[in-house]
C-alpha cells in the first residue's frame, strides 16, 4: 500500500512539473529579430524622397557631369514633405542624400560637388538638415540614402574612394541626430565622369566596399540603426528582388549569413536561414524614382497602391514608398492626393475589427494556462499571445461572432520575438451549419493579411496546418473592407483597335477621346473600337450595383502603326512589338552585339523621340541597357539622333522615353549596344515613336 501511495505522489509531481514547464513561455525558435529590427518592423510604412540634379535633367541616373548650377529649387519645402508623409500615415522619411551622380544634398567638406556650390540659398543650404529638422517637428523618424557608387568622384574604383565614402557616411551619421535606417544602393560601376576621366569602371561588389568594417562604423555612430544593403554582405534588411511593390506570398524573414542570395531567396526568404534579415518593399508612387513631367498622369491609383499595401505590409514586409520631388522642391499635388487617399482607404479598411466582443476557443492551450489561451489572440495587445504545448505544431482557433457577420479580410500576426514559425494555414467560415474553407496562406511572420470575396458567417476557424515549432499567435483581425475598382488598362494594337479592360469582375466602362474626364454619361465601351490616328483615351470602370467608379485610366497614342514593317526580318513573331500587348515579347539574336532593329514607318513623319518597353520578365536576357537611335530617309544614310543608357531598367522595366530634336524620317533604327545579361540578345515588348 505504501508503495502504491509513493508511486501516486511521484506521478503527481511529474505531471505537475510538466505542467509548470508548459506554463512558461516557449523558448525562441531559430533566429529572432534584434531590438532595432523589431522597432523598424513595427514602423510598417515610411517614405523615400528622391531629389538631385537628375530632377533637372529628366534622367533616371546622372553621369556625374551635370552642371551644379541647375540645382536651385525656388520653393524647396521639407516641411511640406514631412507633413504629407505624416498625414499619409507614414512613420519616417529616408532622403537620397547622394545618388549615383555623386551630387550631395548636404555641404560635405569632402567634395565640391554639393549644395555648397549650388545657387540654391547662395550655397548656404543643407537639404539633409532641413529634412532632419522637419522629421523631428512632425514626429517622424529620419533616415539617409547614400549611394556607394559615385560617377563624379575621380577615385571611384580605387582603394582611396572607400575612405571618401566612409568620411561622407560619418558626416551623415553624426551631424543630423538619430538615424533609423541607412540605405546602400546596389548599383555599381559603369560609365561615368569620374573627375573628368569619362570612362567605364568596374568593381567587385562583394569585396570592394569592405562592408563589414563599414557596418561596424555605422553601428558605432548610430547604435539604434538598421542597415539596408543590396550590394554586399548581409545587412539587417533585404531587398525583395523587385521595385514593383510586392514580396512573395511565402516570405520568411530569414537568410543565411554567408553565400549567394539568388532572386528566389530575396523574394521568399529562406525557411531554415540562420540570420534574421527582414524584407523591405521599396517602390515609387510613379513609374520612376526621380521626377519626370511626363509621368504627371502616371501616378499610381489608390487601388494600385492598396495592392502594394497588401503585397508588402500584408506579406510580412515593410513598405518604403517614394515621392519624386519636383524641380521647385515640393511634392506634386497628384502624388499628395494619391498618398492621402490611400491613407484614408487603409483607415476605412481596418477601422472595425470584427473580433471585438467575440469569444474564442483553441484546440490546444499551452499548459491549459489562461495567459496563453485563445482570447490572447483577439485582445488587441500584440505583446500577449495564444500558444500551444511544445509538441503541438498543428492547431486551430475558433472565433464565435454569435450572429451572421459579413467580412472579406483576415489578419494574423506571430509574436516574432520568439521566431517565425508558421508554414501553412487555412481559414474556414461556418455558413448554414457547415464549415467552408474561404482562404489559405503560407507564412505569417510579423503580419499577414488575406483578401477574399465577402462571406457571411457566424464563426471563423483559423487552422495552423504546419509549423516549425509550437505556433505563437499575437493577433487576429477580421474586417469587412471597402472594395475598390481598379484603373482600366487601355491598349491599341497595330490595326489601331483600342481595347479597355480591367481585372475586376463585372464592371462596365465609359470613355472619352478628347481629353475630357469620363463619366457614366460618356460613351459606353462594348467592344474594341478603331482609333488609328493620334488620340487621347480616358476611361473609367463603373459598378452599376454600388454606383462606384474607378480611377481614370489614361493613354495617349501617337501615329498609327498599321503600315509599320520590320526590315530584314522573317520571323512572324516579330510583329508582336507593335501589337500593344505588354505580355508579348520578341527577341532578336545575333552573333555579336550591337544588334540593330530597323523599322519602316510606311510614310514620312516629323519624329522627335522614341519609346522602348523592355521584356517585363526580369529574367530576360534581352533587356537593353545601352543604345543608339538613328533615322534615315532610305536606309543607306543614317543619322544618329540619340544615344545613352536606360538607367535602372532591369529593376524597373518601365517605358523608356527619349526625346531629341525633331527629324523628318521614314526609317528608324534602334541599335542595342549592351544588355543586362552581357549576351547578344535584344528583347522588345513594344517600340513606339513620338511625333512633333
The pLDDT value given to residue 6: 52
Tens digits of per-residue pLDDT, 528-547?
999 988 999 999 999 887 78
Query: Are 411 and 332 in the same domain?
Result: no
- Statement to judge: residues 538 and 608 lie in one domain: no
Same domain flag for 576 and 536: no
| Strand-pair partners of 460 | 399, 429
Contact yes or no for 364/467 (Cβ under 8 A):
no
Categorize the per-residue pLDDT at 1 as very low, low, confident or very high, splitting at 50, 70 and 90: very low
Q: In this structure, are residues 125 and 71 in contact, taking their beta carbons and an 8 Å threshold?
A: no
Radius of gyration of the CA atoms of the chain, in A: 28
- Residue 684 within a domain: yes
Weakest-pLDDT range from 11-15, 98-102, 167-171, 345-349: 11-15
Q: Is residue 474 part of a domain?
A: yes
pLDDT one-digit tens code per residue, 594-613: 999 999 999 999 999 999 99
Does residue 543 belong to any structural domain of this protein?
Answer: yes
For residue 284, the model assigns a pLDDT of 98
Residues 6 or more apart whose Cβ sits within 8 Å of residue 410: 427, 439, 449, 450, 452, 460, 462, 476, 477, 478
Query: How far from 540 is each of 297, 413, 481, 568, 582, CA to CA, in Å?
Result: 15, 37, 22, 41, 20
288 contacts 269 by C-beta, under 8 angstroms: no
Q: Establish if 305 belongs to a structural domain.
A: yes
Number of C-beta neighbours around residue 11 at 10 A = 10
543-575 residue pLDDT tens: 887 788 999 999 999 999 999 999 999 898 999
pLDDT tens digits along 507-528 = 899 999 999 999 999 999 999 9
Q: Which of 479, 503, 530 is the last residue of a domain?
A: 479
- Do 171 and 318 share a domain, yes or no? yes
Q: Return phi, psi of residue 20, to 5°.
A: -65, -40
At residue 465, the pLDDT reads 98
In a domain, 26, yes or no: no
Does residue 3 carry a pLDDT above 80? no
CATH number at residue 331: 3.20.20.80
Which residue do the cell numbers 545657387 mark?
Answer: 119
**Are residue 239 and residue 210 in the same domain, yes or no?**
yes
**Nearest partner of 581 among 501, 524, 508, judged by Cα:** 501
Residue 249 pLDDT greater than 60, yes or no: yes
Whether residues 613 and 465 share a domain: the answer is: no
**What per-residue confidence (pLDDT) applies to 618?**
66
222 shares its domain with 151:
yes
Per the confidence metrics, is the pTM higher than 0.85? yes
Q: Are 194 and 299 found together in one domain?
A: yes
Residues 539/518, Cβ–Cβ less than 8 Å: yes
Instruction: Report the pLDDT value the prediction gives residue 589, as an integer from 0 to 100.
Output: 87
Helix (H, G, I), strand (E, B) or coil at 100: coil
Task: Confirm whether 33 is domain-assigned.
Answer: no
Position 22 pLDDT exceeds 80: no
Q: Residue 524: beta bridge partners?
A: 510
Confidence of residue 446 (pLDDT cuts 50, 70, 90): very high
pLDDT at residue 402, as a whole number: 93
Residues 105 and 122 in one domain: yes
**In angstroms, rounded to a whole number, what is the distance separating the alpha carbons of residues 23 and 618?**
49
Cβ neighbours around 381 below 10 Å, total: 11
Q: Which domain holds residue 519?
A: 489-557
- pLDDT bin (cut points 50, 70, 90) of residue 231 is low
CB neighbour class for 260 (10 Å; exposed up to 12, middle 13-18, buried from 19): exposed
Which of 508, 540, 557 is the last residue before a domain boundary? Answer: 557
Residue 22 lies in a domain: no
- How does residue 234 score in pLDDT terms, banded at 50, 70 and 90? confident
Closest Cα to residue 497, out of 533, 455, 468? 533
Segment 194-218 shows an average pLDDT of: 94
175 and 47, same domain (yes or no): yes
366 shares its domain with 340: no
How many domains, the chain? 4
pLDDT tens column, 300-309: 999 999 999 9
Residues 271 and 407 in one domain: no
Amino acid at each position: 500500500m505504501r508503495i502504491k501511495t509513493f508511486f501516486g505522489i511521484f506521478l503527481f509531481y511529474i505531471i505537475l512539473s510538466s505542467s509548470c514547464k508548459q506554463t512558461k513561455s516557449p523558448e525562441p525558435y531559430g533566429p529572432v529579430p534584434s531590438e532595432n529590427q523589431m522597432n523598424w518592423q513595427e514602423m510598417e510604412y515610411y517614405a523615400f524622397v528622391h531629389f538631385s540634379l537628375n530632377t533637372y535633367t529628366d534622367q533616371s541616373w546622372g553621369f556625374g557631369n551635370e552642371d551644379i548650377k541647375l540645382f536651385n529649387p525656388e520653393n524647396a519645402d521639407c516641411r511640406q514633405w514631412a507633413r504629407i508623409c505624416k498625414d499619409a500615415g507614414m512613420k519616417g522619411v529616408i532622403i537620397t542624400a547622394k545618388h549615383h551622380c555623386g551630387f550631395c544634398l548636404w555641404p560635405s567638406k569632402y567634395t565640391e560637388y554639393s549644395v555648397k556650390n549650388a545657387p540654391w540659398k547662395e550655397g548656404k543650404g543643407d537639404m539633409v538638415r532641413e529634412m532632419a529638422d522637419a522629421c523631428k517637428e512632425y514626429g517622424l523618424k529620419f533616415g539617409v540614402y547614400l549611394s556607394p557608387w559615385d560617377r563624379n568622384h575621380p577615385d571611384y574604383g580605387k582603394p582611396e574612394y572607400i575612405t571618401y565614402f566612409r568620411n561622407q557616411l560619418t558626416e551623415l551619421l553624426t551631424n543630423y541626430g538619430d538615424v533609423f535606417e541607412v540605405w546602400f544602393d546596389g548599383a555599381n560601376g559603369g560609365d561615368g565622369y569620374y573627375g573628368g576621366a569619362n570612362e567605364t569602371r568596374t568593381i567587385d561588389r562583394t569585396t570592394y566596399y569592405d562592408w563589414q568594417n563599414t557596418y561596424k562604423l555605422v553601428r558605432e555612430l548610430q547604435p539604434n540603426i538598421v542597415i539596408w544593403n543590396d550590394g554586399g554582405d548581409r545587412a539587417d534588411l533585404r531587398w525583395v528582388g523587385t521595385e514593383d511593390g510586392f514580396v512573395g506570398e511565402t516570405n520568411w524573414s530569414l537568410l543565411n549569413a554567408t553565400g549567394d542570395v539568388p532572386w528566389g531567396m530575396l523574394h521568399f526568404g529562406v525557411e531554415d536561414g540562420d540570420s534574421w534579415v527582414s524584407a523591405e518593399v521599396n517602390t515609387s508612387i510613379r513609374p520612376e524614382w526621380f521626377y519626370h513631367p511626363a509621368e504627371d498622369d502616371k501616378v499610381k491609383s489608390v487601388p494600385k497602391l492598396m495592392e502594394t499595401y497588401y503585397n508588402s505590409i500584408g506579406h510580412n514586409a515593410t513598405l518604403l514608398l517614394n515621392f519624386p520631388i519636383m524641380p521647385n522642391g515640393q511634392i506634386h499635388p497628384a502624388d499628395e492626393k494619391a498618398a492621402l487617399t490611400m491613407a484614408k482607404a487603409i483607415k476605412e479598411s481596418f477601422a472595425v475589427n470584427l473580433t471585438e466582443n467575440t469569444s474564442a476557443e483553441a484546440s490546444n492551450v499551452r499548459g491549459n494556462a489562461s495567459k496563453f489561451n485563445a482570447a490572447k489572440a483577439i485582445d488587441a495587445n500584440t505583446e500577449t499571445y495564444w500558444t500551444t504545448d511544445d509538441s503541438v505544431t498543428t492547431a486551430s482557433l475558433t472565433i464565435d461572432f454569435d450572429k451572421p457577420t459579413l467580412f472579406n479580410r483576415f489578419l494574423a500576426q506571430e509574436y516574432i520575438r520568439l521566431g517565425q514559425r508558421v508554414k501553412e494555414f487555412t481559414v474556414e467560415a461556418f455558413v448554414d451549419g457547415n464549415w467552408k474553407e474561404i482562404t489559405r496562406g503560407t507564412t505569417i511572420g510579423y503580419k499577414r493579411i488575406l483578401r477574399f470575396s465577402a462571406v457571411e458567417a457566424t464563426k471563423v476557424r483559423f487552422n495552423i496546418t504546419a509549423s516549425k515549432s509550437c505556433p505563437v499567435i499575437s493577433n487576429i483581425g477580421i474586417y469587412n473592407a471597402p472594395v475598390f475598382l481598379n484603373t482600366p488598362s487601355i491598349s491599341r494594337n497595330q490595326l489601331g483597335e483600342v481595347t479597355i479592360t480591367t481585372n475586376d469582375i463585372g464592371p462596365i466602362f465609359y470613355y472619352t477621346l478628347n481629353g475630357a474626364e469620363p463619366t457614366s454619361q460618356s460613351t459606353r465601351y462594348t467592344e474594341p473600337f478603331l482609333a488609328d490616328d493620334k488620340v487621347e483615351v480616358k476611361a473609367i470602370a463603373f459598378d452599376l450595383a454600388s454606383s462606384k467608379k474607378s480611377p481614370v485610366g489614361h493613354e495617349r497614342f501617337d501615329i498609327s502603326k498599321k503600315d509599320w514593317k520590320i526590315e530584314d526580318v522573317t520571323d512572324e513573331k516579330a510583329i508582336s512589338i507593335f501589337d500593344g500587348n505588354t505580355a508579348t515579347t520578341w527577341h532578336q539574336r545575333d552573333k555579336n552585339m550591337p544588334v540593330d532593329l530597323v523599322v519602316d514607318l510606311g510614310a514620312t513623319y516629323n519624329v522627335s523621340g522614341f519609346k522602348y518597353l523592355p521584356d517585363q520578365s526580369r529574367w530576360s536576357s534581352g533587356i537593353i541597357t545601352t543604345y543608339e537611335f538613328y533615322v534615315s530617309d532610305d536606309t543607306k544614310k543614317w543619322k544618329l539622333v540619340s544615344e545613352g543608357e536606360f538607367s535602372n531598367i532591369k529593376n524597373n522595366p518601365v517605358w523608356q522615353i527619349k526625346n531629341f530634336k525633331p527629324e523628318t524620317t521614314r526609317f528608324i533604327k534602334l541599335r542595342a549596344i549592351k544588355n543586362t545579361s552581357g549576351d547578344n540578345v535584344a528583347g522588345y515588348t513594344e517600340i513606339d515613336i513620338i511625333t512633333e
